[in-house]
Amino acid sequence: MEASDVLPLTALDAYACWELNRRCFADHETYDLATFRLLLDSPDSVSYQSLDAGRRLVGFLVGLVDRAPGRGRGRLLGSGHIIAVGVAPEARRQGHARRLLAVAEQGFRRRGVAIVHLEVHAANAAAYRLYASAGYSVTQRLTRYYADGDDALKMVKSLLGG
Ligand SMILES: CC(C)(COP(=O)(O)OP(=O)(O)OC[C@H]1O[C@@H](n2cnc3c(N)ncnc32)[C@H](O)[C@@H]1OP(=O)(O)O)[C@@H](O)C(=O)NCCC(=O)NCCS
């Protein structure tokens, strides 16, 4: 058996994912269960879970391919959004997030995505280093992006040529 495994994350996993999410973001605003269900149920979801050697859920990544706004399903924009990433406190620094990102990028590529973007809390050094080491670059500081008034950094990575 593999020491860890990355598998697709579906609406059936929404409750477990939401519970893990609450542990990951104990001090920050986060998504509610209904939002997880909605995101994971979307045909545009590019989302994965990471299991440890005991097959326990220890990490998740929720992503969506971007569509033009409007009624119905707008046209695909060729970009993808990483909406949430979390790894259980007891399973950190074991490469779960790095593997989730790599598998999600493959998933985005299969959906025709050329560029991936995300927002990270400006004070979140661990997440910033994770994304920077995976090839994401800061393109913008989003002032007062979060409800508590904190700033976010917008980071992007091109999937072309990789
Ligand atoms: C950020 C988070 C997802 C990282 O998950 P992880 O599985 O521990 O990360 P990985 O083990 O894959 O680490 C990959 C790289 O990220 C960087 N990194 C991860 N955690 C770090 C930390 N605490 N301090 C500094 N760098 C860190 C390192 O470069 C690391 O590579 P290395 O271990 O070879 O040095 C995890 O800490 C977490 O869930 N935090 C709370 C939720 C959160 O902030 N999510 C991101 C929101 S945008």
pLDDT tens track of the chain, all 162 residues?
456 799 999 999 999 999 999 999 877 678 899 999 999 999 999 999 999 999 999 999 999 999 988 777 888 889 999 999 999 999 999 999 999 999 999 999 999 999 999 999 999 999 999 999 999 999 999 999 988 899 999 999 999 975
Question: Does residue 126 line the site of ligand 1, with CB under 6 A?
Answer: yes
Positive or negative torsion for Cα 28, 14, 42, 113: positive
Ligand 1 center to 92 CA (angstroms): 7
Do the beta carbons of residue 46 and residue 80 sit within 8 Å? yes
- Domain layout of the chain by residue ranges: 5-114
Residue 75's nearest CA partner among 83, 65, 67, 87 is: 67
Ligand 1 center to 76 CA (angstroms): 30
Fill in the DSSP letter of residue 4.
S
Report the distance separating Cα 42 and Cα 64, nearest Å. 8
Position in ligand 1 atom list of the atom nearest CA 127: 1
Report the distance separating Cα 78 and Cα 157, nearest Å. 13
pTM of the model: 0.95
Domain range 5-114, CATH class: alpha beta
What is the number of other CB atoms lying within 10 angstroms of the CB of residue 84?
19
Fill in the DSSP letter of residue 95.
S
Question: Does residue 117 line the site of ligand 1, with CB under 6 A?
Answer: no
What is the number of other CB atoms lying within 10 angstroms of the CB of residue 149?
8
Ligand 1 center to 136 CA (angstroms): 14
Question: Does residue 130 line the site of ligand 1, with CB under 6 A?
Answer: yes
